[in-house]
Structure formats: C-alpha cells, structure tokens
Amino acid sequence: MEDRTICLRININGIDYREDIPSDITLLDYLRKYRQLMGTKKNCGAGECGTCTVLLDGRAVYSCITLAIQAYGKKVETIESLGDEESLHPIQQAYLDAGALQCGYCTPGMIMTTKELLDNNPYPQDREIREALAGNICRCTGYRQIIEAVKLAARKMSGGKTERDDGHEC
Amino acid sequence: MNVNRMESLDSACRFLEENPQAKLIAGGTDLIPRLNQKIESREDLCFLDNLEELRGIKGNDDGHMFIGALTRLVELSKSPFLSNYTALIKAAGKVASPQIRNQATIGGNILQENRCMYFNQAVPWSEINLCYKRGGNKCYQYKNSKECMALFQSDIAPVLIAYGAKALIYSNDNTREIPVSDLYLPAGKKNVGHAEILLGIKLPPFTDHYLSSYVRKTIRGSFDFPLMSCAVFVTEKNEKIVDIAVVLGSAGVMPADIKDISPSFIGKRISDLPQLALGVLDAVAKHVAPFRDTRVNTPVRKDMAKTVFIEAMNEIASQN
C-alpha cells in the first residue's frame, strides 16, 4: 500500500487550517515543516525530554510522539501563540527576569507546560510546580530558577496578587 | 506507513483482519517512540480516536464500574467516580509525566510493550546482534532462554489485577470477558488477538469494607518507569481480613500475582498488616525474576520488592 495523504483540519494559535498531509507525520514535524512554526523544538523523538511540548485543547502533550492526525479538529497552541520580541507574554518575561534559561532549547516546552499549569492553577505551590514540570528536562539551569520563574509568572498573571483567596501564599 | 482513522468498532476489526501487519494506535505514547527510533516496523496503523464508546468512566446497574479503553490516564487520576479506588488513582497519577498522562490511555498502558535495555531503551548495542524482540534469535538477559524475558512495567496493570478487574475484548460482534491477569502471556505477548480490540475494564463492586494501596520505586523522583512496584487490595469483614491480593509490577515478563502468602493474613486485623508483612518478605522476593538493566541488578531488585511490599502494607494500615 502506498503512503497516502489524509485531510487534516486543525486550529493552530487561533487560525484554522485544512490541508492534505502525509498520514504518518508527527504533530511536531507538521508544525515545523508545514507551518514553519520553529519555536517548538525537536530533540528526543521518544517523549522523554519535553522540548516539543505544545498544548492540545489546553492539555500539554509531546508533539514528537503525537501524530498530526491525533490533533484533527483540535486546537493547538505553540510558543508562537504567546508574546513576541516587542511584547513578551508574562510567562516569557518571568523566565527572563528569573534567569531561568541558558541555552534556551528546553524553554519553549517549559513555557508551554507552565502555561497549562497556570491556566488551570493560578496559584500553584512549589510541589505542584515541580510535579507539573516533571516531564520537561533542562540540562543547564538546575531547575531552581525555573521554579522561581513560574512563581513570578503566577504573580504577574494574577495582577501582583501573591495569595489565594484562602490566604495561602503561592 | 499509513494511518487509518476508524469510524466504528466493526470497521476497525475488519481493517485488522484485512491487514495482518497493521497495528492499533490509541494515545500513541508507547508505539510512536518505537516507530521514531526505528525499532518497530512502520506498518499501517489503525487509529481508534474516533470511537467515543471506548471513552469514559461510568457505573453499571450491576454495581460494576466500567472504564473505557481510551480513557486517558489524567482522567483516571482525577476521576471523582474512582475516589474509593485509592490504588488506581495513585498509580494513574504516577505514570511517566504529565504530558504522557494527558495523552496515554488505560488500554494502551495495560497492553504496553515490555521493556528491556537490549530492545526498546534506545541503546546502540541493541542494534548489533538482534534479540528475540527485534527479530533475532537470542535473549541477552538469559543466555539459554528460548524466548524474550523483557520486563512488563505497567503501573496500572498490577492494581487492576489486585482489584480482580476484568477486561472486555471485542471482535466480530462478539465480546469476551477475561480477568486482567489473563491478558499476560509468556514472552511479553498479550492475550488479545490481532483482530480483537480491548473495549475497557470492569472493576467489580465491593460490598465489604476494602482498602487498596500502590507503591513504586524509581531511580528518579518522577518521570520514570517503576523499577519495582506493588499493589495491595484488602477486604475486611467484622474487623477481620477476608481477602487479600498482592501483585508486584516490573517483577518479570508479566505482573506477579502473589497468592501463596494470603494464608498469613486471612482472619487477621488490618492494623497487624505491617508486622505480618515482615514474616513473608522472602516469599515475596521469590517472585522477582532475575533481570539486570543499566541501573540495578537482581539482588537490589529483590530488596526493592520487599521494600515496596512493606510500604504498601503500611499504607493500607494507615488508611484504616
């Protein structure tokens, strides 16, 4: 049987696309080769490092082990959906301010995982941050600054609030 | 390789019958890494994502709880319907990483491929002289073994076996029901035919007071396959233990259902479990198959089995 194409309907960063793609292409390769969204990084290809993390209907997934067709009819958010050089997203700014990146290769994945966490849990505790980022590996920073960046981002995104309504400090 | 989205169970079964090399794919977190690493041939894939009847968790009239095979692990770990199934919720929340749990399904987890450093752990020497799993004629773990001895490292399967759960398997308008423990065959094979599809899991109703626990040991604190794990399920009546199941995970080619230690606990009190557990440690460790990987050797794995067993028993006692 010859390799064939399949029609993909997908929303990426708010824009709808409908096009024929090879049926076996991964979401990561589709984003990089077909949509030229190069912010999502390719590394292990085995779902082990987290550099390729994107949000699929709001859930963080590894795009390297997700077929593009698995995103059929779904919304994908990549690092390009956040800020740009002129206007950084609060999470991006927090990573800069906290010194949470060195080589930067893991950073897009870290930031997308952070976005999923803060979208669902605006005031995470340290333990919750560590658990949320467990699937993203950084070989440069040692993680301490990354956890600080997430806490800083949480404060930025909640308008400077540092406590939950119940008085719990984030 | 072609990916074929299936619109119904019957069309999926037909496709599998007509394509003997085709593989099923659900979440893909087990299969796609092997495809990417080129240790699995790129055959046609039968993609089940559209089959909504395989999703979700619901209670049946007969008291059983049904978990569809495509239910994602993140849904299991957060489901209010499963709040009494302590061990299952805990195990589902420990599998791999949040990204994997967002994508992986319970069906894929319990039917996942076995693991070994000579097969699917992406090490260069696995390509030199192929092992059984990769089409060769030897097992590097056991020189004289006639079949693959790779470890089965699911977190979920030991828990389901401890609960006495059943697997529902569909083919050609027919559904068969087998204990989850019967899914596992020698050499890492699974008791699901090529044109059969796992519909889901039935958890039995429990009338008496019951408790369950799950403990796993890993090298890293997170995001790792268990080096050893233990699920325990205890049923109590009139403050006496009437049933107990202890299942080790990652102990061999299939989960180890340790039935020979049950008499030590029947009729005793749950609060006595931690002390009683100390008396059967060697019997538990006996079920650990000799196996080495890049991290731990067999004696350490046997010690780990004792540790996870003790900790799981302590957890049961502390819940009571």
Q: What is the pLDDT of residue B237?
A: 95
Cβ burial A26-35 (10 Å sphere, 16+ → b, else e): bbbbbbbebb
> Cβ(B33)–Cβ(B17) under 8 Å?
no
Average pLDDT rounded to a whole number, residues A84-108: 96
pLDDT of residue B135: 85
Structure tokens at A35: 């949509």
CATH of domain A90-157: 1.10.150.120
**Neighbour count for residue B282 (Cβ, 10 Å):** 9
Query: Do B32 and A134 make contact, defined as CB atoms within 8 angstroms?
Result: no
For the stretch B9-29, pLDDT in tens is 999 999 999 999 999 999 999
What average pLDDT does the structure give for chain B? 93
Q: What is the CA radius of gyration of chain B?
A: 20
pLDDT by residue (tens digit) across A3-18? 689 999 999 999 999 9
In this prediction, residue B170 carries a pLDDT of 97
Token pair, residue A86, equals 């002129």
Could you tell me the fold of the domain covering B209-319? Enolase-like; domain 1 (3.30.390)
From residue B112, give the alpha-carbon distance in Å to each of A26, A50, B24, B142, B184: 20, 21, 11, 22, 11
Which residues neighbour B14 within 8 Å (Cβ) at sequence distance 6 or greater?
A: none
From CA B100, how far away is CA B103, in angstroms rounded? 5
The size of the A-B interface in CB pairs under 8 A is 91
pLDDT greater than 70 at residue A168: no
**Of B28, B49, B99, Cβ closest to residue A53:** B99
Q: What is the CATH topology of the domain spanning A5-81?
A: Ubiquitin-like (UB roll) (3.10.20)
User: Which of A146-150, B34-38, B48-52 is predicted most confidently?
Assistant: A146-150
Q: Is B93 on the interface with A (CB under 8 A)?
A: no
Q: How many CB atoms lie within 10 A of CB B299?
A: 11
Start-end of CATH 3.10.20.30 domains in chain A: 5-81
pLDDT at A153 over 80: yes
Domain boundary assignment for chain B:
50-203, 209-319
Question: Is A76's Cβ below 8 Å from some Cβ in B?
Answer: no
- B220 pLDDT band, cuts 50/70/90, is confident
Distance CA B80, CA B75 (A): 9
| Segment B198-205 mean pLDDT | 96
**A36-52 mean pLDDT:** 95
Locate the chain A residue with the closest alpha carbon to B94. A131
Q: How far is A53 from chain B (nearest CA, A)?
A: 8
- Report the C-alpha gap between B200 and B183 in whole angstroms: 12
- In this predicted structure, what is the pLDDT of residue B103? 97
Average pLDDT for chain A: 93
What pLDDT score does B207 carry?
Answer: 84
Q: Is A63 on the interface with B (CB under 8 A)?
A: no
For residue B237, the distance in angstroms to the closest alpha carbon of chain A comes to 38
User: Can you give the pLDDT at residue B125?
Assistant: 60
Does residue A163 have a pLDDT over 80?
no
Q: Is A113 exposed, middle or buried (0-12, 13-18, 19+ CB in 10 A)?
A: buried
Report pLDDT digits (tens) over B244-299: 999 999 999 999 999 999 999 999 999 999 999 999 999 999 999 988 776 788 89
Q: Domain B50-203's class?
A: alpha beta
Which stretch, B77-81, B170-174, B180-184, has highest mean pLDDT?
A: B180-184
Give the chain A residue whose CA is nearest to the CA of B48.
A70
pLDDT above 80: residue A165: no
CA dist B208 and B114 (Å) reads: 35
pLDDT for residue B172: 86
Span A29-50, average pLDDT: 96
B124 has pLDDT over 80 = no
pLDDT, mean of residues B228-243: 96
**Cα–Cα nearest to B30, from A57, A66, A28:** A66
Provide the pLDDT for residue A16: 98
pLDDT at A152: 97
Residue B47 has pLDDT above 60, yes or no: yes
In this prediction the pTM is 0.94
Q: Which of A121-125, A150-154, B59-63, B309-313 has the lowest mean pLDDT?
A: B59-63
Q: Residue B122: its pLDDT value, please?
A: 60
The pair of three-digit structure tokens given for residue B16, joined into one six-digit string: 């599998």
CB-based contact B28 A134, cutoff 8 Å: no
ipTM above 0.90, yes or no: yes
For CATH 1.10.150.120, list the domain ranges present in chain A.
Answer: 90-157
Percent of chain B predicted with pLDDT > 90 = 77
Number of H helices and E strands in chain A, helices first, is 5, 5
C-alpha separations of B193 from A162, B24, B175, B196 in Å: 55, 11, 12, 5
List of residues 6+ apart from B38 with CB closer than 8 A: none
